Amino acid sequence: MDTTKWKSILVPRDVYEEIIVIAHVEARTISGQLRYIFENWKLDHLSPNDQEYIAEKVLEMREQERQKAIELEKG
């Protein structure tokens, strides 16, 4: 698995089983269904300021990971 693109997460078995069924009903992959649920949750529950803060922090986190990768390549 390409860990620069994908990450594994743990969910309770009963949640996983429901996500599979919902994904099937809505003709999505499991990852597509999780993305759909998550994106809708963010829109419904986070203020625009919170969404902006999260986006900024994610960019900072990605930059830190990129810098670590550069340092590891240098040896």
Tens digit of each residue's pLDDT (9 = 90 or more) over 5-46: 888 999 999 999 999 999 999 999 999 999 999 999 999 999
DSSP per-residue letters across 21-72: HHHHHTT--HHHHHHHHHHHHHHHHS-HHHHHHHHHHHHHHHHHHHHHHHHH
- Closest Cα partner for 11 from 32, 30, 39, 36? 30
Domain positions in the chain are 13-74
Amino acid at 53: Y
**pTM of the full structure:** 0.76
Nearest CA to 6 among 32, 45, 28, 42? 32
